[in-house]
């Protein structure tokens, strides 16, 4: 097998422009720009759930939990190769191209977590490398969900907010999208702490959903949302990352933010999606069900998030931890569908790998 680099680079000149934008101050309103062209958001996307932790080469994962933007995903399925213990290469067909981001979430009740190693084009397809680990940091064969998405232009149809950022350790933005046409920026603080600024997105109160994933090719890393400060001119999100020893750690990461849009960017279609943030309570603006129903939360180890009316095959879900400490969250088991009722099972862990009740952000979407 030929070696392949999984570290996407920014387009020529883009990194310089984004670093200059960073110096303009994170909480300042974005300078108005010429209105970008309308586009379908996202331009290209795919998601999958690996339902076999030791797949043979060319394995086709659960076909009811994968889909994408290419012609006939049913005839051109996502495939997964296992490269080593806890190391996987996910092949999304026919969506090659630069500028996107990836997320991964472990589906495991023992404390394993998963991260993105990197991604790259492979002919006409897009390969996403996923690494998974035990709480000790040892590689571990693990079930997981993964998505890749990339967007440009202003959403058509318009409505809601959506943005993403792929950050280097320094805070240089390697890829970004902002549905308001503004430029997202990142600043690096002390080890393992960054502040992301998403101008023009969201509301002055907490609304929507955030997902964060570590991107690291050298060792196990976990990233989460440490703080979220909404504003009338945009959203400030503090991201914090840790290594397997629970020490603050500098790594790359991806962040996506959505309001009244699915986790990978689109809305209507898909008609069926939702999200929920638990931070000791459930803020109303962060509890979304695209059918107009009300999601509910029960239990704690694991939680059960019930979303009436949205369950539909060809779907996916992701979970991100919230808080300043080194704990993490994932999914205890695959989501279930009972008629049109969808249930997610977020589970969180303390630094020792013991399941605990802790804040999280969960997002679900169907493809349609």
What is the span of the domain harbouring residue 345?
Answer: 273-366
Q: Are residues 335 and 243 in the same domain?
A: no
Residue 326 in domain: yes
d(CA 106, CA 170): 27
Query: Is residue 65 helix, strand or coil?
Result: helix
Boundary (domain end) residue, out of 150, 171, 187: 150
- Could you give the C-alpha distances from 58 to 19, 88, 96, 314, in angstroms and in order? 40, 11, 18, 20
pLDDT at 38: 59
Residue 12 in domain: no
Instruction: For 305-354, write each residue's pLDDT tens digit.
Output: 999 999 999 999 999 999 999 999 999 999 999 999 999 999 999 999 99
Q: Are residues 158 and 255 in the same domain?
A: yes
Q: Residue 189: which pLDDT band, with cuts at 50, 70 and 90?
A: very high
pLDDT at 26 over 60: no
Boundary (domain end) residue, out of 106, 132, 150: 150
User: DSSP letters of 156-173?
Assistant: SS--SEEEEEEE-TTS-E
- Could you give the C-alpha distances from 263 to 39, 189, 219, 315, in angstroms and in order? 17, 27, 27, 11
Residue 165 in domain: yes
pLDDT at 249 over 80: yes
Instruction: For 259-290, write each residue's pLDDT tens digit.
Output: 999 999 999 999 999 999 999 999 999 999 99
Residue 118 in domain: yes
pLDDT at 15: 34
Instruction: For 297-309, write each residue's pLDDT tens digit.
Output: 999 999 999 999 9
**Residue carrying the six token digits 């979970």:** 319
pLDDT at 156: 74
Mean pLDDT computed over 181-189: 98
Q: Residue 24: which pLDDT band, with cuts at 50, 70 and 90?
A: very low
Please check whether residue 302 is in contact with residue 284, taking contact to mean a CB–CB distance below 8 angstroms.
Answer: no
Residue 11 in domain: no
Residue 3 in domain: no
pLDDT at 198: 98
User: DSSP letters of 175-219?
Assistant: EEEETTS---EEEE-STTEEEEEEET-S-SS--SEEEEEEE-SSS
Q: Extract the runs of DSSP E, i.e. beta strands, from 234-279.
A: 234-243, 252-259, 273-278
Residue in 164, 151, 186, 134 with CA at minimum distance from that of residue 15: 186
Residue in 262, 212, 234 with CA at minimum distance from that of residue 41: 262
Mean pLDDT of the chain: 91
pLDDT at 83 over 80: yes
Q: Are residues 157 and 255 in the same domain?
A: yes
Please check whether residue 69 is in contact with residue 113, taking contact to mean a CB–CB distance below 8 angstroms.
Answer: no
pTM: 0.90
Q: Are residues 49 and 146 in the same domain?
A: yes
Residue in 355, 348, 351, 354 with CA at minimum distance from that of residue 320: 348
- Could you give the C-alpha distances from 78 to 49, 121, 227, in angstroms and in order? 10, 14, 35
Q: Sign of dihedral through CA atoms 145, 150, 155, 161?
A: positive
d(CA 352, CA 296): 29
Mean pLDDT computed over 169-196: 98
pLDDT at 158: 80
pLDDT at 6 over 50: no
Mean pLDDT computed over 176-198: 98
Instruction: For 96-152, write each residue's pLDDT tens digit.
Output: 998 999 999 999 999 999 999 999 999 999 999 999 999 999 999 999 999 999 999
Domain count, the chain: 3
Residue 135 in domain: yes
Q: Are residues 144 and 118 in the same domain?
A: yes
pLDDT at 155: 87
Q: Residue 17: which pLDDT band, with cuts at 50, 70 and 90?
A: very low
pLDDT at 5: 36
Boundary (domain end) residue, out of 114, 134, 150: 150
d(CA 173, CA 176): 7
Percent of the chain with pLDDT over 90: 87
Residue 31 in domain: yes
Q: Residue 157: which pLDDT band, with cuts at 50, 70 and 90?
A: confident
pLDDT at 12: 35
Q: Are residues 214 and 184 in the same domain?
A: yes
d(CA 263, CA 33): 26
pLDDT at 22 over 70: no
∠ CA(216), CA(219), CA(220), 5° rounding? 85
Q: Are residues 193 and 124 in the same domain?
A: no
């Amino acid at each position: 097998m030929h070696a392949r680099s999984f570290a996407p680079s920014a387009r020529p000149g883009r990194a310089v422009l984004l670093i200059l934008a960073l110096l303009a101050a994170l909480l300042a309103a974005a300078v108005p720009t010429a209105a970008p062209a309308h586009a379908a958001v996202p331009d290209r996307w795919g998601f999958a759930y690996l339902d076999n932790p030791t797949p043979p080469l060319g394995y086709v994962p659960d076909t009811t939990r994968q889909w994408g933007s290419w012609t006939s995903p049913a005839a051109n399925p996502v495939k997964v190769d296992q490269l080593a213990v806890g190391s996987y290469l996910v092949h999304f067909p026919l969506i090659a191209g630069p500028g996107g981001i990836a997320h991964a979430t472990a589906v495991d009740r023992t404390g394993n977590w998963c991260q993105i190693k990197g991604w790259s084009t492979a002919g006409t397809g897009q390969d996403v490398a996923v690494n998974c680990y035990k709480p000790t940091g040892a590689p571990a064969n693990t079930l997981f969900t993964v998505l890749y998405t990339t967007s440009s232009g202003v959403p058509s149809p318009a409505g809601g907010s959506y943005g993403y950022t792929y950050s280097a350790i320094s805070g240089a933005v390697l890829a970004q999208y902002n549905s308001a046409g503004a430029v997202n920026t990142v600043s690096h603080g002390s080890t393992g702490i960054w502040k992301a600024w998403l101008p023009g997105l969201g509301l002055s109160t907490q609304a929507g959903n955030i997902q964060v994933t570590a991107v690291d090719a050298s060792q196990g890393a976990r990233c989460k949302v440490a703080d979220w400060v909404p504003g009338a001119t945009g959203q400030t999100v503090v991201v914090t990352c840790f290594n397997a020893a629970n020490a603050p750690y500098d790594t790359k990461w991806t962040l996506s933010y959505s309001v009244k849009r699915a986790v990978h960017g689109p809305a209507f279609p898909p008609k069926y999606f939702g999200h929920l943030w638990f931070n000791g309570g459930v803020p109303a603006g962060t509890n979304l069900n695209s059918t107009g129903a009300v999601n509910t939360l029960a239990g704690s180890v694991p939680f059960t998030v019930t979303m009436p009316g949205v369950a539909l095959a060809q779907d996916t879900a992701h979970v991100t931890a919230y808080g300043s400490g080194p704990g993490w969250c994932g999914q205890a088991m695959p989501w279930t569908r009972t008629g049109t009722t969808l249930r997610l099972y977020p589970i969180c862990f303390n630094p020792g790998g013991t399941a605990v009740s802790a804040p999280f952000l969960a997002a679900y979407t169907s493809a349609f």
